[in-house]
Protein backbone atom coordinates (compact mmCIF):
# COMPACT_ATOMS: atom_id res chain seq x y z
CA UNK A 1 0.00 0.00 0.00
CA UNK A 2 1.38 3.39 -0.98
CA UNK A 3 1.39 5.96 1.79
CA UNK A 4 2.80 9.45 2.15
CA UNK A 5 2.65 11.19 5.49
CA UNK A 6 3.63 14.83 5.78
CA UNK A 7 4.53 16.43 9.09
CA UNK A 8 6.49 19.28 10.57
CA UNK A 9 4.19 22.22 10.01
CA UNK A 10 3.45 24.79 12.64
CA UNK A 11 3.39 28.45 13.58
CA UNK A 12 6.57 30.45 13.06
CA UNK A 13 7.48 34.11 12.95
CA UNK A 14 8.58 35.76 9.74
CA UNK A 15 12.24 35.09 9.12
CA UNK A 16 12.08 31.76 10.92
CA UNK A 17 12.59 28.22 9.69
CA UNK A 18 10.71 24.94 9.57
CA UNK A 19 11.57 21.52 8.22
CA UNK A 20 8.78 19.48 6.73
CA UNK A 21 9.04 15.70 6.45
CA UNK A 22 7.23 13.31 4.14
CA UNK A 23 7.55 9.68 5.15
CA UNK A 24 6.80 7.35 2.28
CA UNK A 25 6.08 3.64 2.01
CA UNK A 26 4.99 1.27 -0.72
CA UNK A 27 7.30 2.58 -3.43
CA UNK A 28 10.92 3.42 -4.04
CA UNK A 29 12.74 6.66 -4.65
CA UNK A 30 14.38 4.76 -7.51
CA UNK A 31 11.12 4.86 -9.44
CA UNK A 32 9.21 7.89 -8.20
CA UNK A 33 9.73 11.63 -8.18
CA UNK A 34 8.71 13.38 -4.97
CA UNK A 35 7.42 16.91 -4.80
CA UNK A 36 6.34 19.47 -2.24
CA UNK A 37 3.27 21.58 -2.90
CA UNK A 38 1.20 24.14 -1.08
CA UNK A 39 -2.28 25.52 -1.22
CA UNK A 40 -3.29 28.79 0.37
CA UNK A 41 -6.95 29.66 1.01
CA UNK A 42 -8.68 30.65 -2.21
CA UNK A 43 -5.69 29.70 -4.35
CA UNK A 44 -4.77 26.75 -6.49
CA UNK A 45 -2.30 24.18 -5.32
CA UNK A 46 1.21 24.99 -6.58
CA UNK A 47 4.32 22.93 -6.88
CA UNK A 48 7.21 24.36 -4.88
CA UNK A 49 9.96 21.85 -5.30
CA UNK A 50 10.55 18.39 -6.65
CA UNK A 51 13.24 15.75 -6.96
CA UNK A 52 13.33 13.29 -9.86
CA UNK A 53 13.51 9.57 -9.20
CA UNK A 54 16.98 8.20 -8.56
CA UNK A 55 16.86 6.13 -11.75
CA UNK A 56 16.24 9.32 -13.70
CA UNK A 57 19.00 11.39 -12.19
CA UNK A 58 17.56 12.84 -8.99
CA UNK A 59 17.56 16.42 -10.28
CA UNK A 60 15.87 19.02 -8.13
CA UNK A 61 13.55 21.83 -9.12
CA UNK A 62 12.26 24.92 -7.36
CA UNK A 63 9.65 27.53 -8.15
CA UNK A 64 11.16 31.02 -8.29
CA UNK A 65 9.37 32.22 -5.15
CA UNK A 66 11.23 29.73 -2.95
CA UNK A 67 14.61 29.49 -4.67
CA UNK A 68 17.40 30.21 -2.23
CA UNK A 69 15.07 29.79 0.77
CA UNK A 70 13.77 26.21 0.50
CA UNK A 71 15.78 23.03 0.01
CA UNK A 72 14.44 19.60 -0.86
CA UNK A 73 16.33 16.48 0.18
CA UNK A 74 15.83 12.75 0.56
CA UNK A 75 16.93 10.21 3.13
CA UNK A 76 16.84 6.89 1.32
CA UNK A 77 17.40 4.87 4.49
CA UNK A 78 14.49 6.53 6.26
CA UNK A 79 12.34 6.70 3.11
CA UNK A 80 11.69 10.33 3.87
CA UNK A 81 11.73 13.50 1.82
CA UNK A 82 12.36 16.81 3.54
CA UNK A 83 11.68 20.43 2.75
CA UNK A 84 13.89 22.79 4.71
CA UNK A 85 12.26 26.20 4.70
CA UNK A 86 14.26 29.24 5.76
CA UNK A 87 13.55 32.96 5.76
CA UNK A 88 9.84 32.27 5.92
CA UNK A 89 7.43 35.02 4.93
CA UNK A 90 3.76 35.54 5.79
CA UNK A 91 2.90 34.73 2.17
CA UNK A 92 4.31 31.23 2.73
CA UNK A 93 1.29 30.51 4.92
CA UNK A 94 -0.56 27.55 3.41
CA UNK A 95 -1.26 23.86 3.75
CA UNK A 96 1.76 21.96 2.49
CA UNK A 97 1.51 18.58 0.76
CA UNK A 98 3.90 16.00 -0.60
CA UNK A 99 3.11 14.12 -3.78
CA UNK A 100 4.66 11.36 -5.85
CA UNK A 101 4.80 10.79 -9.57
CA UNK A 102 6.48 8.06 -11.58
CA UNK A 103 9.99 8.88 -12.86
CA UNK A 104 10.21 12.62 -13.46
CA UNK A 105 8.98 15.77 -11.84
CA UNK A 106 6.12 17.23 -13.83
CA UNK A 107 4.92 20.80 -13.72
CA UNK A 108 1.41 19.40 -14.20
CA UNK A 109 0.03 18.72 -10.73
CA UNK A 110 -2.54 16.32 -12.16
CA UNK A 111 0.29 13.93 -13.04
CA UNK A 112 1.07 13.26 -9.39
CA UNK A 113 -0.53 9.94 -8.53
CA UNK A 114 -0.05 9.74 -4.77
CA UNK A 115 -0.60 12.39 -2.15
CA UNK A 116 -0.11 12.74 1.56
CA UNK A 117 -2.34 14.67 3.90
CA UNK A 118 -1.35 18.27 4.27
CA UNK A 119 0.43 19.96 7.11
CA UNK A 120 -0.40 23.55 8.02
CA UNK A 121 2.33 26.18 7.96
CA UNK A 122 1.48 29.59 9.38
CA UNK A 123 3.96 32.44 9.27
CA UNK A 124 3.17 35.44 11.42
CA UNK A 125 4.41 38.94 10.63
Hey, what long-range contacts does 3-8 have (CB within 8 A, 24 or more apart)?
3/116, 4/98, 4/99, 4/100, 4/114, 4/115, 4/116, 5/116, 5/117, 6/96, 6/97, 6/98, 6/116, 6/117, 6/118, 6/119, 7/119, 8/119
Distance CA 51, CA 32 (A): 9
Q: How confident is the model at residue 27 (pLDDT cuts 50, 70, 90)?
A: very high
The model's pLDDT over 76-118, given as tens digits with 9 standing for 90+, comes to 999 999 999 999 999 999 999 999 999 999 999 999 999 999 9
Determine the average pLDDT of the residues in 64-71.
Answer: 97
pLDDT score of 113 = 94
Determine the average pLDDT of the residues in 62-66.
Answer: 97
Amino acid sequence: EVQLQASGGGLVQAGGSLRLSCAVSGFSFDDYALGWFRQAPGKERERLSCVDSTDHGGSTYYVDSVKGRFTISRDIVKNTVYLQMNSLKPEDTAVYYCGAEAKWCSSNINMYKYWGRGTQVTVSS
